Each structure stands twice: as structure tokens, then as C-alpha cells.
């Protein structure tokens, strides 16, 4: 099949997927299917099967993901807090979505990371995705809420992978010649920042009295979607150690953010479900959920400051009214290039100096490359304080995941496409203070120039 024919077939298949998502009423769908069959009543069952097969073949969801975490659905009768369950059911009805399910994820911990624990468990509220229909409002989410609805449709595999990398043991494959020969990226040969030991090393000493107290790790997840698995896992670790006299494991304060109000509301439910497991109901210290839209302007700066103020507690209030984060987590959020400057500015504002931001996402055509180019543009040029970020992109960050990746390339080429299914790990280390008048300006200018090369003038977004 020629490339143009393949593209035409893919376009038809994806229009078919969109039609099925829009036709929520089963009766209407059957009527439409019936009309189509009357127009072509030969080999109807074969055609229908072929259409279904074609839709699955061209859907991004044809590959189930690496599924690094043990996952099981919890029967509703097994849930302890029935009041919370009734609230969840009511939210589902109001949203007009499919029935929600409660899912439990289990993450093993190695003895070197946590001698007293063998695993961490979190619970999330998720939507059933099998045959899910979407309303026009959901499809037009970017118009109503300023952000797309993809985070509310499923728990994306990058979130699962990043949770595995954050909580697990560092197990990096040998640095041999890169598997991909396209030379699209300069992959780092440095040891990647992965594993719970690396994560906990970012905790800072907030004690001003000289007493041997536990350090504090401040974690922020951006674009968390419906479940926020990586940050929720770290919150669960904190809940497990909350009342233990174990100073080697820091306190962990987690802030979960998304731009979509439905995702924020769902993350509140996920936090409550996880707190139930550790008998820490209504804990307002360890986990916070906020709405945050990325904006490369003055309003965006103010909203970032508000989130950093809201995460302040009695342990951090003494430091500053506006406390940046030690660790930032981002899963599969670079796919829309229009928001690259906004995302880069948000990371620059909210990460502390020498803090780490982990971004786990596939290449998705040129989208990841374009985001890295925005970061490079912020680092380049004349700046009295030097580059903003140390940027390291890792292709081989986990032996288990990389070995599975190689196996899939060899055996599952009809389902697996590394461009959209294999997550790369982008590690950003903040090197200096963020300056709105220069850093945000560079990001905006570069994105505008990509969209329209004639547009090279930067308007300073913030007066300083």
C-alpha cells in the first residue's frame, strides 16, 4: 500500500472512531449503521468486522502499554467508606459519563529504598473506557476550559511508567549504541535520575532549631489527568511513614494539578481513596489538589505563585510565603506545541534551584523535539546568569522497560509504534533563578517564530 493510501485509510478510520464517540445513544448508532448496511447489503458482517478492525489498527490505544504496575479493580462492596462511594456515584451522574470504577495499583519497593516496606498501594477513581462515548462539550473541552479532555479519558501509560520509575530501584541497561538510528535526538549517556533513592535525595532540611527531624520533599505534578499515579504513589509513601519514628525517610508533601476541573475533582477522590488505605482520612497536609493552567504571561505567574503559597504548611511557612518545589513530575504533556512556552515557563517558575523535573513522554512525531528546542532556546543567547536548565534526554532508563521495548519492535510491529508508545525520559535540572523578562520572553519568541518565522519580536509578558 502506498503512503498516500495508508494515510487516507488512517484518516477514514479515525473519523469512524470520532463518529462512534459522538453517537452516545445506542439506538441512534444502530440506526446509522443500519442505513449504511442498506446502502451496501453485501458482505455486511465482513464489512462491519473489517471496519472495527481498521479502527482498532489506527487507534493510538491499539497498544495496551507497558503496564509496569500491578493493577486490579476493587468491587464497590469492598470499599470501606460508603459515603465517599455515594459521592463518587453522584459525580459520575452529574458528569454524564460512563460508570466509574475504583482501581488499586501496587508498586514494589526494594529493601535498599525502604527497609520497613515491601510495597506501596494507591487507589484511583477511573472511567470505564471500553466503548466510551463522549459529549460534544467534552470534545470541545479546550474551548470551555482552556485545556483538552484527554486526561479525563483514560490513565495514560506514561503516568504508569513514571510512577514505576519514581518508586522503583535504579536498574539502567548498558550504554550501547542507540537502538534508533534516526539521530533525531542527542541521547544522554549520563546515569539517569530514576529510582526512589534519587527522588528522596532531593528532600531539604527545613528545621531551624537544630533538632534531628525528618527532612521535607515537596512534589508537584503538572497535567496529572484523572489519576496522578506518580505523585499519588509518593503521597502514599508519606502516609505509610506518617506516624513512624523513621528519620531516614523524609516527609513528602504532594501537590497535584491539572487545568481541567473534572480532573482536579477526580484527583480529590483519588486522594481520599488512597488516604482510606492508610487510615488518614481528611488529611489536608500531605496531598493537595489544585487547578493550574499553564500560561506564559503575568496571570500565569500569579497563578503559579498562588499554588506555591497554598502548599506552605507549618513546616515550610518559616522559609517563605512562596515555596518552590524540589521535584516536578510531568507525564505525556508535550503533544501540543502551542503550549510549549507555557509549560516551560511553568516549570521554570515552580522548580527550586537544583531541583529536578521528570518528563516522561513518547516522541509523538516532532512534538517532543520541538519542546526540547524551546528549552534550548531558553538556555542559549546572552544571559548574565548562564543557562536555565541542564537538559538530559534518556532512551534507556530502565532495563526492564527497554528490553520489553526491543522485544515489541521485533515481534509486535503491527501494534507497537515506538514513536507514540515508547516513553522517553526527559530530565531537567534547574541551574539558576527564573527571570520572567528574559526566560519567558525567549520561550514565547521561539514558539512564535516556529509558527510564523516573520514574528520575532518579543513583548515582555511581566513588568519587573
Identify the residue with better confidence: 310 or 171. Answer: 171
pLDDT at 385: 77
pLDDT category of residue 75 using cuts at 50, 70 and 90:
confident
pLDDT per residue over 308-361, tens digit each?
Answer: 987 655 444 444 578 899 999 999 999 888 899 999 999 999 999 999 999 999
Our separate counts of H helices and E strands in the chain read 16, 10
How much is the pLDDT for 430? 98
pLDDT of residue 156 exceeding 60: yes
pTM: 0.82
How many CB atoms lie under 10 A from the CB of residue 263?
26
pLDDT surpasses 90 at 59: no
pLDDT given for residue 189 in this prediction: 85
Cell numbers at 200, concatenated? 528522596
**What was the pLDDT predicted at 29?**
43
Contacts of 389 (CB under 8 A, 6+ apart): 348, 375, 378, 379, 428, 429, 430, 431
- The arithmetic mean of pLDDT across residues 116-144, rounded, is 67
Residue 207 is predicted with a pLDDT of: 63
Q: What is the pLDDT of residue 347?
A: 98
Model pLDDT, residue 384: 74
pLDDT of residue 32: 40
Q: Using the structure block, give the residue that is written with the C-alpha cell 465482513.
A: 46
Q: Is 322 left (phi over 0), alpha (psi -120 to 50) or beta?
A: beta
The DSSP secondary structure of 159-174, one letter per residue, reads HHHHHHHHHS---PPP
Beta strands 424-430; 389-394: pairing state: antiparallel
| pLDDT value of position 79 | 73
Contact partners, residue 228, CB within 8 Å, separation at least 6: 159, 221, 256, 258, 267, 270
pLDDT, tens digit (0-9, with 9 covering 90-100), for 272-301: 999 988 887 655 567 999 999 999 999 999
Question: What's the mean pLDDT in 411-423?
Answer: 87
Residue 181 has pLDDT above 50, yes or no: no
Greater model confidence, 49 or 14: 14
Give the pLDDT of residue 11: 54
Q: Looking at the predicted structure, is the pLDDT value of residue 454 above 60?
A: no
pLDDT of residue 134: 55
**Mean pLDDT of the region 93-109:** 72
**pLDDT at residue number 48:** 43
Residue 58 has pLDDT above 80, yes or no: no
**pLDDT the model gives residue 145:** 54
Average pLDDT in the 120-139 region? Answer: 69
- Separation CA 258–CA 265 (nearest Å): 10
Q: If you average pLDDT over residues 423-436, what whole number do you get?
A: 97
Strands, E assignment, 332-439: 351-361, 389-394, 424-430
Pairing of strands 119-127, 100-108: antiparallel
**Cα-Cα-Cα-Cα dihedral of 314, 319, 324, 326, to 10°?**
-80
Binning pLDDT at 50, 70 and 90, where does residue 237 land?
A: very high
Cell of 306: 498562588
What confidence score (pLDDT) does residue 47 get? Answer: 46
Q: What is the pLDDT of residue 122?
A: 95
Percent of the chain with pLDDT over 90: 47
User: Is pLDDT of 16 > 90?
Assistant: no
What's the CA angle centered on 303, arms 298 and 307, to 5 degrees? Answer: 150
pLDDT at 35 over 50: no
Exposure class string for 154-192: b at 16+ Cβ within 10 A, else e: bbbbbbbbbbbbbbbebeeeeeeeeeeeeeebebbeeeb
Distance between CA 63 and CA 226 in Å, rounded?
20
SS3 assignment, position 336: coil
pLDDT value at residue 406: 93
**Angle at 329 (CA atoms; ends 323, 332), nearest 5 degrees:** 140
**Contact, 439 vs 445, CB < 8 A?**
no
Crossing angle for the helix pair 261-277 and 82-95, to the nearest 10 degrees = 160
Phi then psi for residue 133, to 5 deg, are -105, 145
Distance between CA atoms of 392 and 358, rounded to whole angstroms?
A: 10
User: Alpha carbon of 147 to those of 342, 346, 447: distances in Å?
Assistant: 12, 15, 18
413-440: b or e for each residue (b if 16 or more CB lie within 10 Å)? eeebbbeebbbbbbbbbbebebbbebbb
Instruction: Provide the b/e sequence for 346-369 (b: ≥16 CB within 10 Å).
Output: bbbbbbbeebbbbbbbbbbeebbe
Q: Which of 55-59, 201-205, 266-270, 295-299 has the lowest mean pLDDT?
A: 55-59
Residue range 182-191, pLDDT digits in tens: 456 789 888 9
pLDDT category of residue 176 using cuts at 50, 70 and 90:
low
Q: Could you tell me the end-to-end alpha-carbon distance of the chain, in angstroms, rounded to an integer?
A: 58
Helix (H), strand (E) at residue 291: strand 287-291
Weakest-pLDDT range from 56-60, 225-229, 302-306, 391-395: 56-60
Which candidate, 122, 111, 36, places its Cα nearest to that of 71?
122
Q: Residue range 430-439: average pLDDT?
A: 95
Give mean pLDDT, residues 238-256: 84
Give the model's confidence band at 241: pLDDT under 50 very low, under 70 low, under 90 confident, else very high.
Answer: confident
Q: Which three cell numbers stand for residue 248?
A: 531516614
Give the mean pLDDT of 212-219: 86
Q: What is the pLDDT of residue 13?
A: 56
- Secondary structure E strands in 24-168: 70-74, 100-108, 119-127
Range scoring the smallest mean pLDDT among 24-38, 66-80, 357-371: 24-38
pLDDT-based confidence at residue 464 (cuts at 50, 70, 90) = very low
Which helix or strand (DSSP H or E) is residue 196 part of?
helix 196-200
- Which of 293 and 85 is assigned the larger pLDDT? 293
- Per-residue pLDDT, 93: 47
Amino acid at each position: 500500500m502506498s503512503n498516500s493510501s495508508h494515510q487516507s485509510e488512517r484518516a477514514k478510520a479515525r473519523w469512524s472512531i470520532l463518529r462512534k464517540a459522538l453517537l452516545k445513544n445506542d439506538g441512534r448508532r444502530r440506526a446509522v449503521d443500519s442505513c449504511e448496511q442498506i446502502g451496501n447489503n453485501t458482505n455486511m458482517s465482513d464489512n462491519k468486522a473489517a471496519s472495527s478492525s481498521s479502527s482498532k489498527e489506527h487507534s493510538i490505544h491499539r497498544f495496551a502499554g507497558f503496564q509496569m504496575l500491578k493493577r486490579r479493580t476493587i468491587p464497590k462492596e469492598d470499599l470501606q467508606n460508603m459515603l465517599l462511594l455515594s459521592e463518587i456515584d453522584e459525580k459520575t451522574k452529574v458528569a454524564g459519563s460512563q460508570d466509574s470504577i475504583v482501581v488499586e495499583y501496587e508498586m514494589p519497593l526494594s529493601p535498599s529504598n525502604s527497609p520497613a516496606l515491601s510495597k506501596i498501594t494507591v487507589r484511583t477513581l477511573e472511567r470505564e473506557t471500553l466503548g466510551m462515548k463522549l459529549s460534544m462539550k467534552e470534545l470541545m473541552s479546550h474551548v470551555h476550559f482552556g485545556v483538552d479532555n484527554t486526561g479525563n479519558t483514560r490513565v495514560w501509560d506514561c503516568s504508569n511508567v513514571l510512577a514505576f520509575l519514581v518508586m522503583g530501584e535504579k536498574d539502567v541497561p548498558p550504554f550501547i549504541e542507540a537502538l534508533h538510528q534516526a539521530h533525531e535526538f542527542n541521547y544522554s549517556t549520563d546515569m539517569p535520575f530514576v529510582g526512589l533513592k534519587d527522588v528522596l535525595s532531593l528532600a531539604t532540611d527545613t528545621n531551624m532549631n537544630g533538632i534531628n527531624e525528618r527532612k521535607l520533599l515537596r512534589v508537584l505534578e503538572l497535567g496529572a489527568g484523572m489519576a496522578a499515579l506518580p505523585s499519588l504513589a509518593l503521597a502514599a509513601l508519606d502516609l505509610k511513614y506518617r506516624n513512624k519514628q523513621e528519620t531516614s525517610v523524609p516527609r513528602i508533601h504532594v501537590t497535584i494539578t491539572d487545568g481541567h476541573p473534572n480532573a482536579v475533582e477526580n484527583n480529590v477522590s483519588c486522594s481520599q481513596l488512597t488516604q482510606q488505605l492508610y487510615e488518614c482520612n481528611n488529611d489536608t497536609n500531605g496531598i493537595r489538589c489544585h487547578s493550574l493552567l499553564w500560561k506564559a504571561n503575568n496571570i500565569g505567574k500569579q497563578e503559579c505563585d498562588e499554588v506555591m503559597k497554598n502548599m506552605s504548611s507549618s513546616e515550610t511557612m518559616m522559609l517563605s510565603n512562596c515555596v518552590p518545589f524540589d521535584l516536578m513530575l510531568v507525564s505525556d504533556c508535550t503533544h501540543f506545541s502551542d503550549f510549549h512556552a507555557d509549560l516551560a515557563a511553568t516549570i521554570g517558575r515552580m522548580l527550586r534551584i537544583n531541583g529536578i523535573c521528570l518528563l516522561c513522554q513518547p516522541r509523538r512525531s516532532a512534538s517532543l523535539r520541538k519542546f526540547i528546542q524551546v528549552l534550548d532556546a531558553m538556555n542559549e543567547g546572552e544571559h548574565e546568569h548562564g543557562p536555565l536548565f541542564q537538559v538530559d534526554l534518556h532512551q534507556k532508563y530502565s532495563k526492564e522497560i527497554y528490553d520489553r521495548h526491543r522485544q515489541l519492535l521485533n515481534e509486535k510491529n503491527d501494534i507497537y509504534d515506538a514513536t507514540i508508545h515508547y516513553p522517553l525520559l526527559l530530565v531537567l535540572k534547574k541551574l539558576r533563578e527564573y527571570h520572567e523578562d528574559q526566560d519567558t520572553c525567549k520561550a514565547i519568541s521561539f514558539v512564535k517564530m516556529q509558527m510564523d518565522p516573520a514574528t520575532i519580536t518579543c513583548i515582555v509578558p511581566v513588568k519587573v
